[in-house]
Amino acid sequence: MNMSNIPGANMNDKSPDMRENKQTNSKKSTFFRLVKYIAPQKLTITAAFVFAALYVAATLILPVLIGKAIDLAVGVGNVDFKNILTLVFIIIGISLAGTLFQWLMTVLTGKISYKTAHSLRRDCSDKLSKVPLSYIDTNAHGDLISRVVSDVDAVCDGMLGGISQLFTAVITIVGTMVIMIRINYIVGIVVIALTPLSVVAASVIAKLIHGSFAKQGRIRGKLGAYAEEHITNQKLITAFVRESEAVNGFKKIDAELYTVGEKAQFYSSLVNPVTRCINALVYAAAGISGALLFIYTGTVTVGQISSFLSYANQYTKPFNEISGVIAQLQNALASAARVFAVLDANDEIDDGTETVSESKPELIFDDVSFSYVKDKPLLTNISLKIPYGSRVAIVGPTGCGKTTLINLLMRFYDVNEGKITLGGVDIRDMPRDTLHSKFGMVLQDTWLFSGTIRDNITYSKPNATDDEIREALKNSYLDGFIRRLPDGLDTQIGDGGGEISHGQRQLICIARVMLAKPDMLILDEATSNIDTMTEARISAAFEKMMKGRTSFIVAHRLSTIKNCDMILVMRDGNIIETGTHESLIEKQGFYYSMWNKK
């Protein structure tokens, strides 16, 4: 049922599990959830806040000192060079100290951002290991990867670009307001009264930006899913000469992303010019009002007017900085909402505590019904008893429910009705890990990861001894192949093992199961990619493995299941025939017709 390896199969980015709910879509709730991720770094945050305060204090002191220096220089032949020189050295020292404080603040805020990104990725990885298999099956894998990688990066970048500005902005705004009012409350009120224009303009544009970046994130995930699916299946695309269609599909989504991205950038590019225009008006108002007071009342000096102009710039600068990172912060919030949508997915229910006490448990399907999609039944009223040690084959046409039966047995999916018991215990009452540890699976589709061949084989039993590994290699007829490799078991293979043959990949997967020696076996076309001579040897090895173990064999080649104790013949989600090969041939039913057509 996993459709992720079929090009275009998972392109629906509106699946129910991935729709951001109202809580996740809320910018406010998303922001506060991010705050919860930042909160554990209280000491780092406090240190960053202290250095931010010291940096802002240094920048606020400078205009006052510069104003005093200007006043000391006013007048012909009346310049106080000694005090001016002293002020110059003080200004240089404070400037250097401010630079140091700013650097320390930036380092700490960066640390906060990247630790938060680390926590988000860790939680996403943990969540994806807990969600039901149906969640993974019904959502585009490329989109999930995009959320865990690209969207978390966007959150990190947005925070790294915005936290330092937010730290300094509040202190700068409050500090400059206090100082300006203390110097001259009239000019201070003029500057403060005009500031809300900048805030209103930035907030209006911010609403437009957030919607655009949220849509951009969704399309970016859709593009990632499309690229992942088509790169994974490039051989299939080439074999069917569908390269042009694949490229055109990519171009279509990319063009959609370009259109939305261009719109988002257009809105974000408006923020800075608009706020700077308003800030220029504030600066002009400060200069004009100060000049008028100097001319008509004499209540301010030239140095104080100079200080006022500097403070007018400092006062409006935080609004410029905040508006400048609004686009980045909006992108971060939109990306965070997509990440939290993953974290909000329901965990797979695993509250079982029961254990199987029987040493040779019987497996029973008791009136089991199941469907992947509501109102579209697949398996209906399946009932059967499988004694311990039985060798059970499952056969039938494509889509009849063979793999689904295995999925229910492994609790990759839970039954809708009825129950499956092992040794009298409902498998839903057992911990999933306990149930899974009882089975060993060899599938038609091989799975190997980047690493050594030893790593891939011992994946089922990391603490295996060298003797156990050698036995597994011998039983899987892989030992000769390993000896021919220059580095033997330590030979490196890439993701999927593309540099070795499909048959050799299958042998490695078989050796992995043989090493684990599970209580029960599931073989899903396990020898389909192996040559006839090796298949005969592997079948002999499987004979040894299956002896004394309950085994399930999903097969299309009926010749491989003649010696099974029980053959389940499935059709349209029902078991229509049950028996041995000989008894089913004698019935001359559906199995008989399948056998004659093989």
Q: How far is CA 314 from the centre of its chain?
A: 40
Contact 452, 459 (CB under 8 A): no
* The residue type at 67: G
Domains of the chain and any CATH numbers: 21-343 (1.20.1560.10), 363-597 (3.40.50.300)
pLDDT at 6: 34
Question: Which residues lie across from 522 on neighbouring strands?
Answer: 441, 552
Give me the pLDDT at residue 377, please.
80
pLDDT of residue 5: 37
Q: Which two three-digit tokens encode residue 86?
A: 């002293």
Give residue 129's Cα distance to chain centre: 11
User: Please, which residues have CB within 8 angstroms of residue 73's CB and are 6 or more apart in sequence?
Assistant: 79, 80, 84
CA 568 to CA 560: how far, in whole Å? 14
Nearest to 565 by CA among 402, 424, 388, 403: 388
Instruction: Give pLDDT, residue 436.
Output: 85
pTM of the model: 0.63
Those residues whose C-beta lies under 8 Å from the C-beta of residue 432, and which sit 6 or more positions away, are 348, 350, 352, 411
| 575 phi, psi to nearest 5 deg | -85, 110
> Tell me, what's the pLDDT at 3?
37
DSSP per residue, 186-221? HHHHHHHHHTHHHHHHHHHHHHHHHHHHHHHHHHHH
> What pLDDT does residue 13 have?
41
DSSP H or E run through 440: strand 439-442
Mean pLDDT, consecutive 10-residue stretches, the chain (598 aa), reads: 37 41 59 84 87 87 78 63 82 90 87 86 88 81 83 79 73 81 78 73 71 77 78 67 80 86 78 74 76 74 73 71 68 85 83 78 90 82 89 87 87 89 89 85 80 90 90 86 88 76 82 87 76 72 80 81 88 88 90 82
Q: Residue 2 has what pLDDT?
A: 40
Burial of 185 (0-12, 13-18, 19+ CB in 10 A): exposed
CA of residue 528 relative to chain centroid, distance: 34
Pairing of strands 550-554, 520-524: parallel
What is the rounded distance in angstroms from the CA atom of residue 117 to the CA atom of residue 97? Answer: 31
Q: What pLDDT does residue 14 have?
A: 40
Residue 360: per-residue pLDDT = 81
DSSP per-residue codes, 357-421: --SS--EEEEEEEE-SBTTB--EEEEEEEE-TT-EEEEE-STTSSHHHHHHHHTTSS--SEEEEE
Beta strand 391-395 pairing with 566-571:
parallel
CA distances 454 to 108, 481, 562, Å, are: 42, 13, 34
- Neighbour count for residue 126 (Cβ, 10 Å): 11
